[in-house]
Chain A
């Protein structure tokens, strides 16, 4: 049961990255919009985000709720140790969501700048928080405060590399999606080029994060290098990445989109699987942080009932707005 709740959390994180991640990425391309078509690029990203971003955003709320209901000790520990990056992430989320709505409905272009900058910084804090959880540096001292203070666990090379990785992935996803959604061939080429460049940056960030894995993340690295499932998984991830790139080169945009989604899902899923059995390495395991059984049982029941409403609704939303 513990594993089941953890699996739902991981799936929600994947959904958040694949869906809301692309909304952040849309903001990145707003920031980096250049050339004679800059305004049209911004408009395309804005229209793509508009109907879905609020629904996409709820995946994050679901993750938080699952974490504090199902694994309250981990929620408390992460909230204390990662107070600073999480607060910065929240400020980014608030500014970004509000600025987006202000620009769209208030007609003030200057909010676009805030939306774009907040979109580009928030994923870094999200990624570095996740990196800190893996790095083994997030340990509580005897008084409950983090042993290494409130900055060192996440303001370190590995978490920051994960932050950059998250940003690159989100930008990459957005570029691929926008290449599919652009009706205009010129715009499509703009985003095709952006997707190819960001795919390369994604690879570089992945390599950097891999090389910077600290000794504290020993379990994570060992699992990723030695467990029986890890090499097939890594090969599949690599194949999806190369396949997406090939599809972009050969202008098979829908294939590229599908492969990019698979790629990101495998990366996040692989991260989660290699974390197991830890929620916050090396002190809090899933087992050790879990809520009592009646809570987990009811939580799974609520999730089952909730998904009966959720998935058809989501399907409808995306069918109405994202079908070519």
Chain B
């Protein structure tokens, strides 16, 4: 492997780690606030202990998310200084706004977590609402920066320099809307599905627990609508990618020939016309094949597997959501089989989130700024990048193991 690959590997490792905590930082505050809101209305103590134990988990996860996010903001320069040197002025705006949103989130999370006794009940709930809102806002802002890398706007390149820089036009990148909606929804879905799974396990072990039943209800109230809407936003994303990044669309199917009625493969099954429909709502839509993309501009073929993993996870989550909705309409209590299914699909949200992120990022390769700057040209002149790559990987694997262990213990204590 060469240094470019180690730089990409380190960035990928850091993002794959951080994105889990970032998603939780967006979604958990909403669940906490929902639980506390229920408590204030019903005065049911189960909801209070739920809000408190969710807050305890969030405190750990948010701390890890905050520090691993800091690593990323430095790594942009440490690994790809050539990118930041030119892109900084163009996309610094969303990062600055994200900075303020994150500031607000951190301040109000401090008030929320440590203010149970110091703030009045309404004020405390208000602080939680601010955390939830600013968490979503910071996710949206940082996603705009990524959208710009996929569909850059707001500058011209003149003999290697970025001129006529217009940060507002850059923020108006056509990829912003769908990436924000699809990405933020993924954060809610992944977190809520995982939370639902944890409490489904709790209910299986202790079927009479009101605590777990109410927790499951709240988590499903968030994950089910998200799972039902997510395929539509994914379709929208496919549409935009067909317009803006034909190379990525060709890569997710490894489509060789440029054609209409292009199929989409899902595992062993080939679905006729599906890629054309994804791209343009009609089987007649012509999808660019790899034959029309110069070999040097093609994305790595492995994105195909990740795309399929994302879609299959989405389908399973969607199926589970339909089942939940059916139970809800029929006012049926969750059966043992349903609880087991809930536990099984629990990790799929995060799997889909990671896989989708890899499709977005690896699918953009070999470009760091699509069509403008190649990743290899942006990398640092520093050699021996294998060393920080290994250091970061070891630290993150260790932290992941510890986080899981701590959450398990918190779960046992909450029973």
Contacts and interface: CB of A to CB of B under 8 A. Distances in A.
Interface in B23-69: 56, 59-60, 62-64, 66-69
Interface stretch (B71-79, B189-197, B212-220): B71-79
B336 interface: no
A76 B84 contact: yes
Interface of B: 56, 59-60, 62-64, 66-71, 73-78, 81-82, 84-90, 92-93, 95-100, 102-104, 106-111, 113-115, 118-119, 163, 165-168, 380-382, 388, 391-392, 395, 399, 402, 405-406, 409-410
**Looking at chain A's contact residues, is the secondary structure mostly helix, strand, loop, or mixed?**
helix
Sort chain A's interface into a size bin: 35 or more
The winner among A55, A64, A144 for most chain B CB atoms within 10 A is A55
A113 to B, nearest CB: 14
A69 B170 CA distance: 13
A186 to B, nearest CB: 25
Contacts of B395: 91, 94-95
A321 interface: yes
**Looking at chain B's contact residues, is the secondary structure mostly helix, strand, loop, or mixed?**
helix
Nearest to B155: A292
A83 B92 CA distance: 21
Nearest to B168: A298
A55 B107 contact: yes
20 contacts: A51-B111, A51-B113, A57-B67, A58-B99, A64-B70, A68-B92, A69-B95, A69-B96, A76-B77, A90-B71, A91-B395, A98-B64, A101-B63, A294-B166, A294-B167, A295-B93, A302-B93, A302-B97, A302-B100, A303-B96
A69 B167 CA distance: 10
A70 B115 CA distance: 36
B106 A320 contact: no
Contacts of A313: 103-104, 107-108
A51 B114 contact: yes
A86 B78 contact: yes
Given A83-B380, A310-B103, A68 B93 contact: no
A34 interface: no
A309 B97 CA distance: 12
Contacts of A143: 381
A105 B166 CA distance: 45
B67 A52 contact: no
A273 interface: no
B127 to A, nearest CB: 9
A57 B395 CA distance: 20
A1 B114 CA distance: 39
